[in-house]
Chains A and B, each alone.
Chain A
Amino acid sequence: MSQWYLGLSTSGHDPALALVDAEGTVRFAEATERFLQDKRAWGVTPDHAPHLGAALDEAGFDRDRDTLRVGTSWASVKGAMGRPPHDALLSGADTLWMQAVQTQMQAAAGLSLLRLGLAREPVEPLRFDHHLCHAVTAAWFAPCDDAVCVVLDGEGEVGAVSAFDMRARRLTRRWRSWGPGSLGTFYGWLTGLCGFDWRAGEEWKVMGLAAFGQVDPELAARMDGMIAVDRGRLRFADEDMLRTADALCRPFGRDPAEPVERAADLAATGQAVYSAFADRVIGSCMADGAATDLLLAGGCALNSSYNGTLPGRHGIERLHVPPCPADDGNAIGAALLAYMHETGTDAVPRGDGSPFLGHMARTRTLDKMRASAKGFVIRETGGMGGAARAVAGCLAEGRILGVMRGRAEFGPRALGHRSILADPQQTGMKDRINAEVKGREAYRPFAPALRLADTATWFGRSVPSPYMSLTLPWLSDRPAPVAATVHADGTGRLQTVEPHTAPWMSTLLGALEQATGVPVVLNTSFNIMGKPIVHSVEDAAGMLMTSGLDAILVEDTLIEKPLAAS
């Protein structure tokens, strides 16, 4: 008999679940969208019964003997506050809808325990402060004991920013902002103005597009007036002023039907203004010199372009962004807080840094594939070293591979376990993957993965980025062009790899160096645009069949298209 803790991300968007064991170790974490293959899984309960059942089995939970305590990632219920939505920037209807789904998630959290035979009557979950969940998640992944933690989010219990101090892994809140004023909302507004959809999570497209534009100082001044930053706290200007700024910025925007380039200057300007706002918040939090480590969390911590500017500024020596800084990641925070609450622990447990917390591929499906996939070439590579050599050989020939190996990553980035890989030296590789594999806009960049020890050789400095959280400028005189992973502004959103935390990618980079002479691999998520990252072997095989992928690796089995194999 053992006590477990189930953390649920109950925002209504990006639901996810996490399981923590009796020792306070995160044993499993996964976003609902992966299991359902429905991007962002809006309005789906994070303890969706079939998903929770599969997760409990995977984590080793004994349904006959073990017990589960549930925690949610919000203390309050948005629909119960009765406040009119702030609709000067985002549609009031969307906000009301988000409030409604958050209310539903909070009400339904934990009910699946009835369905799974783990409770005889509805359980009352523990409810935790939303930004504290973000902070605890960040702390779990951070390899330090003392830090400042800043949560930059779209929303919160009372406002969209919180600052915490971590001392000996104990988190205390320094302050939180109240009232409207949100960098997440600002970026969502910018995303819409650029002709993209924040509800689909298309903020990435703005960030990528920014590299093609120029900052317009007049436009920047208009945007800068939209938010006042007072000692780190954010406050929107009054609604009339916001509507005026919106009207002034709109001519620089684009209709979704127009070419993306049209919004490049707007994207560049918005990204610059976002960075200036974020700088004021973070500068204020770091000003007292209380710490040299910064934990950055909340949805805005996915802004890798801005994150890359932080190390070395504001007294920040080390920046720690968890692999899951947005609301999906709060499942871990809620589960750990439930553990801490029930065991009277006030220090946040420290993980081993591994983001590989999700499902393993069900290799039984491979047996069926061997019998049924006529015409495909299926071969066993014989373990991690053999798989790495086989993949490296394919990449060196200019082929594009999908890899499904080991436990899935938790968070939006593919870090080598659910990744599409390619050789970044191959001519035209960026265009090929965008057009033939992922169905993305031609301008969108791809990220490199390389060993941390090689980072100084390629980027001129050694900054750890194990979860692909920051973008840095490549050295102009780098050893090889690796053009497919160099963005229009000369940067790359790098993943740094170390053997003890990412043995597969480390081995693969060694094999690739042997095959091509260059230890840099193009790494993008194993999905097509608009779909979540693949979850099942069937998802991976389906994508092989319906895209320009040349082969997939499932565990140590390589499945190649007949033409690609010949």
Chain B
Amino acid sequence: MTDPTATSDAAAARVEPFLIGAIARFTRQPVEAIAPDSVLVDLGLQSIDAVLLSGEVEDHFGIELDPSTVFEHDTLDSFAREIARRLDAA
């Protein structure tokens, strides 16, 4: 039987580089400046950027997010895990 945590970790690892790339683009900083434990607000991610990022996540991963999802997560890693959870459920 598969360990659900492991699946989620693997999926989160797939999601993180995408999020880092997108956030680097929105906030105009190098990807090296962004880490999984970065706090989204501290990275300078504006609320409009967070909304547009949600759209990119939906398009890229083919899942559905709620409008409020991104705002319920402080760190990039936490958001990535939520996306991974939805990917696993899909």
Contact = CB atoms under 8 A, between A and B. Distances in A.
Interface of A: 76, 81, 83, 157-159, 173, 175-180, 233, 235
B66 to A, nearest CB: 8
A175 B48 CA distance: 19
A157 B67 contact: yes
A159 B55 contact: yes
A178 B55 contact: yes
Contacts of B67: 76, 81, 157-158
Interface string B40-78: 000000011001101100110000101110000000000
A180 B48 contact: yes
Nearest to B68: A81
Nearest to A80: B68
A179 B47 CA distance: 10
Given A158-B51, A159-B55, A178-B51, 14 more contacts: A81-B67, A81-B68, A83-B47, A83-B51, A158-B67, A175-B58, A176-B55, A177-B55, A178-B52, A178-B54, A178-B55, A179-B52, A179-B55, A180-B48
A176 B58 contact: yes
B48 A179 contact: yes
Contacts of A173: 64
A230 to B, nearest CB: 10
B39 to A, nearest CB: 19
Nearest to A76: B67
Interface of B: 47-48, 51-52, 54-55, 58-59, 64, 66-68
**Shortest beta-carbon contacts, A-B, top 7:** A178-B55, A179-B51, A179-B52, A158-B67, A178-B51, A178-B54, A76-B67
Contacts of B48: 179-180
B19 to A, nearest CB: 15
A158 B54 contact: yes
Contacts of A83: 47, 51
A437 B19 CA distance: 61
30 contacts: A76-B66, A76-B67, A76-B68, A81-B67, A81-B68, A83-B47, A83-B51, A157-B67, A158-B51, A158-B54, A158-B55, A158-B67, A159-B55, A173-B64, A175-B58, A175-B59, A176-B55, A176-B58, A177-B55, A178-B51, A178-B52, A178-B54, A178-B55, A178-B58, A179-B48, A179-B51, A179-B52, A179-B55, A233-B55, A235-B52
A83 B71 CA distance: 11
Q: Which of B48, B66, B67 has the most CB of A within 10 A?
A: B67
A159 B48 CA distance: 12
Contacts of A176: 55, 58
Contacts of B59: 175
A158 B59 CA distance: 13
A83 B48 CA distance: 9
Contacts of B55: 158-159, 176-179, 233
A129 B23 CA distance: 28
A81 B52 CA distance: 15
B52 to A, nearest CB: 5
A158 B71 CA distance: 13
A159 B51 CA distance: 10
Contacts of A235: 52
A383 to B, nearest CB: 54
A81 B72 CA distance: 11
B90 to A, nearest CB: 13
A490 to B, nearest CB: 42
Contacts of A177: 55
Contacts of B68: 76, 81
A158 B66 CA distance: 8
A367 to B, nearest CB: 54
